[in-house]
Amino acid sequence: MATIIIPTPLRKFTNQQNKVTVGGTTIKESIDELTLNFPDLKKNLIDENGKLRSFVNIFVGDDDIRDLNEENTAVKAETVISIIPAIAGGSADYENITFSKEELARYNRHIIIPGFGLEAQKKLKAAKVLVVGSGGLGSPVLLYLAAAGVGNIGIVDFDVVDDSNLQRQVLFGVSEVGKSKVEAAKARIQSLNPHINVTTYNTQLTSKNALEIISQYDVIADGTDNFPTRYLVNDACVIAGKPNVYASIFQFEGQVSVFNYTNAKGETGPNYRDLYPSPPPPGLVPNCAEGGVLGVLPGIIGSLQANEVIKVITGVGETLSGRFFVFDALTFETRTLKISKRANAPVVKELIDYEQFCGVKAVEKKIKEISVDEFVQWQKSGEDIQVIDVREPTEYEQVNIGALLIPLATVAERANEISRDKKVVVHCKLGGRSAKAIRELEEKFGFDNLYNLKGGITAVEQESDLLKAVNV
């Protein structure tokens, strides 16, 4: 019987099995048997017309079935079938680059590598790399590109550091919580390597500014966590003629590839739309905020992404253009699959409304907030309010203000305990988890009376006189 490797996002439909054996003599028969045995899996693989969904690719060995006989591709007993769903150039002007004595000492371990040497290090210093997103993937990418000596690094991110980021975003520490990510990232990597130039874009990447920003760089590293921005980055790279070093993570699984890369022969490889012409339906593939991610996984995948950026810049080694790398942290299995350009892939001529295209927002809408001082005034004035604490029980035991404890993971199932006819103040430690809770309650249940306590209970603790005043 053939073996089907089940990716992390779909294992919840196969009782957490990562491999399933099936019969059948063709891919269609094997997939039919798989979905017969696991009915809940079917809607994620097959559309209403009985066809394989556009955001799911099937590989036999390391070959895409679209390069074989598609659903009629023959399957044998020893066949390994992989299901791969979508988951939320260098600089030529390097000859005149010079290094200070300090830089030569810093990059010595690069320069002495046979086949790398001073020329490759010059290319790194001359290069301009844009990193889109400074979170889980962006953290190791920025750290290793800075350490390697990439001379000009741009960072695009409009978020601020939250305490929930620290589990995986190793660029930041407790002292950066509440600060702009791009500015915190810039300070960190320039402290690591003062010989590099860093440009920050504390803004959302959109169809209006993407080409203007991306056109200034040689290589783009996509560390985004949502489909609208991922398609935007891809399309902007295609239009601007820039290589797009892609990575994605979810729970225990990571993906890496190089898209839109033009080799020495002038041949341009596949882009993201050759692999995934269109995004999955909204909500079908959760992002890391919804599904979680193993803290060490971004470090592994982000380091591989940085490695590909260095190879693209220097021309040393063979990039992942035309190949798609998949890593499973649970089983420690890796696969490198072949991908190719598609004659029927969408032709990218202009940037579009990607939120409309994907059916989801790239940026979460703003929520109502309240300061500690305002909270105290509400209480003193006799305002009828309910207070919800979405931290964990162990945190609540250490310090609390007498609020109703509803941990973040349980807010949906306990939504009926939350009032709809009075103001409800929601808090956590610093404000990140409570904001997520409010968005979930607003989107799923239509709440419109929720207020996020800015700074969380930490802001309350900083004012000892207020700590007594806010006890409910």
Residue 218: phi and psi, rounded to 5, are -85, -40
Crossing angle of helices 138-148 and 181-192, in 10° steps, is: 30
Question: What are the structure tokens assigned to 118, written together?
Answer: 């001073």
The strand ranges marked E within 34-144 are 56-60, 63-64, 80-85, 128-132
CA 153 to chain centre: 19
Does residue 428 carry a catalytic annotation?
yes
Collect all residues with Cβ–Cβ distance below 8 Å to 301 and sequence separation of at least 6: 137, 247, 248, 249, 254, 255, 256, 327
Question: What are the structure tokens assigned to 319, written together?
Answer: 């990039």
> In 3-state terms, the chain is what percent helix, strand and coil (to 5)?
40, 20, 40
Distance CA 406, CA 433 (A): 12
Distance CA 437, CA 339 (A): 39
Which helix (H) or strand (E) element contains residue 304?
helix 297-314
Q: Is 382 exposed, middle or buried (0-12, 13-18, 19+ CB in 10 A)?
A: exposed
Largest CA distance in the chain: 75
Does residue 288 carry a catalytic annotation?
yes
Reference 28, options 60, 54, 67, 62; nearest CA is 60
Collect all residues with Cβ–Cβ distance below 8 Å to 377 and sequence separation of at least 6: none
Residue carrying the six token digits 């190719």: 340
List the catalytic residue out of 65, 205, 288, 435. Answer: 288
- Report the 10 Å Cβ neighbour count for 121: 24
Looking from the CA of 340 toward its CB, the CA atoms found within 13 Å total 12
- HEC profile for 246-297? EEEEEECEEEEEEECCECCCCCECCCHHHHCCCCCCCCCCCCHHHHCECCCH
Collect all residues with Cβ–Cβ distance below 8 Å to 364 and sequence separation of at least 6: 439
List the catalytic residue out of 428, 437, 441, 457. Answer: 428
Contact status, residue 234 vs residue 271, Cβ threshold 8 Å: yes
Looking from the CA of 37 toward its CB, the CA atoms found within 13 Å total 13
Crossing angle of helices 297-314 and 138-148, in 10° steps, is: 40
Active site members: 288, 428
